[in-house]
Amino acid sequence: MEKDFKAFYEQKLVPDLQLLEADRLEAVSKIKRIRRILLPIVATVTVATIAYSLIKNGDLFFLIPVIIFIWVPAFIFYIVKRVGYAKPYEKDFKKRIMPALVRFIDDSLSFDPEGKIDRETYNKSGIFRQTIARYDGEDLVKGKLGATEIRFSEIHTEYKTTRREKGQTKTEYHTIFRGVFFIADFNKNFNTRLYVLPDLMENLFGKWGQNLQELDKSHGELIKLEDPEFEKEFAIYGDDQVEGRYILSTSLMQRILNFRRKTKSLIYLSFVDSKLYVAVSIARDLFEARLWKTILNYDYIKSNLDYFLLFTGIVEDLNLNRRIWTKQ
C-alpha cells in the first residue's frame, strides 16, 4: 500500500497539488496584505486615543470606545476577508484531492464535501438520545466494499439549554457528538436492537458504576457477557440477552476492542434493523486544506488517506464481508 500510494501521489496528485499550492500562496499573500494595512491603522488610532485620554482626562476611559468601534470592526473585517480569500482554495482542494484519495482505496467509493449522514439515519441508530437543537455535517463517503454497503461522514450535534440570568434568558449549545458517523450492512440478520457504549460509569466509579449501569434503561436492559476485557471498555444494552450474545460473537468483540485501540477515541456502536452504526468521537475537523503550511508534502496528504483507511477499514476490522448463513 505504501509503495503504491507513493507512486500514485507523485504521478496523479502532485500536478494538482502544485496548482493548488499556487492558489494557497496567493490567498496567504492577500491575507497578510490585509493584516499589514489594518494593524498600523488600529495601532495608530489606539495610541492616539490613549494619549488624548491621558492628557485630557488623566485616565483611559476612552479606550473602551476604541475597542468597541475600532478593534471589533477591524477584527470582523479581517475574518471576513480571510475567509473570502481562503475559501475558494479550500473548496478546490477538497474537490480535487479528497475524491482521488477515496478512489485510490476503492473505485466504488465517492466523496461529497457538502454531503452528510442525514438526521433521520443518525436518530435511527439510537446511540445518542438527547434532543438535537443543531445538526451539522460534511464530507460524505459512500460506496460498496466487497459485499458491504457503507456510508460515513463528519457529524456535529448539539443540545440546547436556557437559563435566566439578571432578568435575561441566556441560551447555550453543548456538544452531543462530534466526530465520524459510520453505517454499514451487518453480516447477520437480527430482530432486536443492541447498543455497545463506552463504559464511562465503571471507569469512573468502579463496582458502583456497575450498579449505575443496571439502573440506566434508556437503551434497554444491561447485557452481561463472559468477556471481562470487553466489559471493562464497554457497557452493552439491548432488548434480548440471547440475541445480544448471538450478534456479539467472541471474535467480533475482539475486533471491536482492537478497533477501539487503533482509533484511540471513544467509540459507540449500535446494531439496529440488521445494520451496524459506529460513532467515533473526534474533536477536530478532518479532510481540511491547511492554509499556513505547504500542501506539497507527502506526509500531510498521507495523513488524510490514513483517516479514510481507518473508517473504510471498519469493514475488514469487523469482518463485515463474511456473509454467513442466510445473509447475502
Q: Is 310 inside a domain boundary?
A: yes
Please tell me the total count of domains within the chain.
1
Grid coordinates belonging to 117: 449522514
Its domain, for residue 88, covers 2-189+274-317
pLDDT in tens, 207-245: 544 544 544 556 888 888 878 888 888 999 998 888 888
SS3 1: coil
Grid coordinates belonging to 105: 482505496
- Which stretches of 114-162 are DSSP H helices? 119-125
Q: Is 81 inside a domain boundary?
A: yes
Sheet with 267-272, side-by-side order of all strands: 110-112, 134-145, 148-165, 168-185, 275-281, 267-272, 194-198, 234-238, 221-222
Q: Is 267 inside a domain boundary?
A: no
pLDDT in tens, 56-69: 666 666 667 766 77
CA 226 to chain centre: 33
Q: Is 202 inside a domain boundary?
A: no
Grid coordinates belonging to 276: 451496524
SS3 167: coil
pLDDT in tens, 162-184: 888 777 888 899 999 999 999 99
Q: Is 214 inside a domain boundary?
A: no
Q: Is 284 inside a domain boundary?
A: yes
- Which stretches of 136-249 are DSSP H helices? 200-205, 207-215, 228-233, 241-247
Q: Is 323 inside a domain boundary?
A: no
Grid coordinates belonging to 63: 479606550
At what angle are helices 72-105 and 298-312 packed, to 10 degrees? 70
Q: Is 213 inside a domain boundary?
A: no
Q: What pLDDT score does 167 carry?
A: 75
Instruction: Record the pTM.
Output: 0.84
326: confidence class by pLDDT, cuts 50, 70, 90:
very low
